[in-house]
Amino acid sequence: MNIPLVNKSELTKIIRGKILAGGFHQVGIAAAEKLDKSELLVNWLKAGKHGSMSWMKNHVEARLDIKRFLPEARSVVMAAQNYYTDHTQSEDPSKGKISRYAWGRDYHKIIRKKLKIILLEMKQLYPGIEGKVFVDTAPVQEKLWAAQAGIGWLGKNTNIISRAYGSWIFLGGLALTIELEYDQPATDFCGKCHACIDACPTGALRPYSIDASRCISYLTIENKDDEIPVEFQDKLQNWIFGCDICQEVCPWNRKAVPTDEIRYHPDPAHIAPDLEEMTRLSEEDFKKQFAGSPVLRAKHKYFIRNVKTVLKSGQKSG
Ligand code: B12
Ligand code: SF4
Ligand code: SF4
């Protein structure tokens, strides 16, 4: 791919500038080559650690090789957005806990729009550039790319941890057909710590690897069984949508700084909803109360299932 009249270094500077000016807090760039650890996904799937997330088996070739996602890809530009705010979970046992990532507006729409605009601008400036946006739902192993692009390291809790922001960051990116200057992969600063492994109430974590089928986040968001499996019912610790325990205990999150993205600031109705009240939420009320929030992904029926499971198990607050 020949982009006329501009060199690699200038292009790199321009794209970095656009990502940061577009409201992202970090940017990192990696060459679009196959990543060593990407194949670990195959064993993970074979071992059934994806539970009922059968969509994780779709387009596995693309998850293993970015060139199956965008054949002419030369570079992967990773962007991270801080979503931390200075609020805490309620320890009142009559209240439910909703994961921080879902306190404000849905990041998928926010990040996708930002990245699409940047891609469009790049195409207008330099006709000939092709690219594809990804955020969460595309078959791209975003965490591995974020580590490769130097945004942060893959922690033992299987989240990307940035030295500047901790792990309260969303990821998204652009696969591009141009060559750019690349960042160094991130260094692992977990050291001897194992706080996340010890704190996980369901035993979902092994260092650097998760059994999603045991994770409260999966059990309360992705799992569409009528009942939460019995072995986990009394382990939810009041989490009714998602779970943040393995991030809350991470020392790298102690210095998290509140985000300037106002749309991630909590809707007061999402922080500590009353469990009894939630059981009476009609489908219509649920859609109204959580309009624009990731909580809608759980669907009314399963959200109520989560609330009732917590109530049944005696509201054990974490
Ligand atoms: C499937 C999925 C889930 C699953 C599985 C979680 C997971 N850790 O992968 C479930 C539903 C449980 C989930 C939960 C959450 N998720 Co999620 N999820 C995804 C998704 C769609 C795919 C991730 C994936 O490919 N997993 C596959 C397996 C194989 O990953 P893994 O166990 O981490 O194993 C990999 C590595 O750890 C490595 N590895 C394995 N063994 C070893 C050993 C060593 C020694 C080393 C070094 C490495 C290594 O190999 C594997 C290859 O990738 C991504 C978006 C995307 N497209 O990438 C978002 C994503 C990972 N999720 C995200 C978020 C925010 C969450 C939650 C925090 C939400 C919540 N609060 O409830 C939780 C966090 C739970 C946790 N502890 O990870 C963010 C993470 C941001 C970050 N800072 O890292 C992402 C990137 C979405 C986004 N665009 O921002 N999620
Ligand atoms: S999100 Fe909760 S259940 Fe899932 S691995 Fe972390 S601590 Fe365990
Ligand atoms: S709690 Fe400790 S081991 Fe776990 S991710 Fe954070 S630093 Fe790494």
The CATH number of the domain where 172 resides is what?
A: 3.40.109
Per the domain annotation, does 260 fall within a domain?
no
Tell me the pLDDT tens digit for each residue of 179-189.
999 999 999 99
Is the Cβ atom of 200 under 6 angstroms away from ligand 3?
Answer: no
Structure tokens at 130: 């092709």
Per-residue pLDDT, 160:
98
Judge whether residue 316 has pLDDT over 80.
no
Instruction: Output the CA angle 38-39-43, nearest 5 degrees.
Output: 125
The overall average pLDDT reported for the chain is 96
Helix 8-21 vs helix 107-125: crossing angle, to nearest 10: 150
Tell me the pLDDT tens digit for each residue of 150-177.
999 999 999 999 999 999 999 999 999 9
Judge whether residue 81 has pLDDT over 70.
yes
Judge whether residue 317 has pLDDT over 70.
no
Per-residue pLDDT, 5:
61
Ligand 1 centre distance from Cα of residue 158 (Å): 6
- The contacts of residue 65 (CB under 8 Å, 6+ apart) are 34, 38
Per the domain annotation, does 145 fall within a domain?
yes
Per-residue pLDDT, 42:
98
- Does residue 136 have an active-site annotation? yes
Per the domain annotation, does 66 fall within a domain?
yes
CA proximity to 199, closest of 243, 257, 153, 152: 243
The number of residues making up the chain comes to 318
Per-residue pLDDT, 314:
77
Is the Cβ atom of 219 under 6 angstroms away from ligand 2?
Answer: no
**What domain count does the chain have?**
1
Catalytic residue among 136, 234, 267, 274: 136
Ligand 2 centre distance from Cα of residue 188 (Å): 20
**Residues 100, 188, 56, 73: is their CA dihedral positive or negative?**
positive
- 10 Å Cβ neighbour count for 222? 19
pTM of the model as a whole? 0.96
Per the domain annotation, does 295 fall within a domain?
no
Per the domain annotation, does 255 fall within a domain?
no
Ligand 2 centre distance from Cα of residue 235 (Å): 11
The stretch 78-97 carries a mean pLDDT of 97
Contact (CB, 8 A) for 19 and 79: yes
Judge whether residue 318 has pLDDT over 60.
no
d(CA 275, CA 255): 31
Per the domain annotation, does 301 fall within a domain?
no
Judge whether residue 1 has pLDDT over 90.
no
Per the domain annotation, does 140 fall within a domain?
yes
User: Bridge partners of 170?
Assistant: 81
Per the domain annotation, does 26 fall within a domain?
yes
d(CA 118, CA 108): 16
Of the chain, the percentage scoring pLDDT greater than 90 comes to: 95
Tell me the pLDDT tens digit for each residue of 45-77.
999 999 999 999 999 999 999 999 999 999 999
Q: What is the CA radius of gyration of the chain?
A: 20
Tell me the pLDDT tens digit for each residue of 220-275.
999 999 999 999 999 999 999 999 999 999 999 998 999 999 999 999 999 999 99
Per-residue pLDDT, 4:
53
Residue span of the structural domain in which 41 resides: 8-47+58-88+104-176
Residue of 196, 197, 248 to test ligand 3 pocket, by largest number of atoms within 8 Å of CB: 196
Tell me the pLDDT tens digit for each residue of 31-44.
999 999 999 999 99
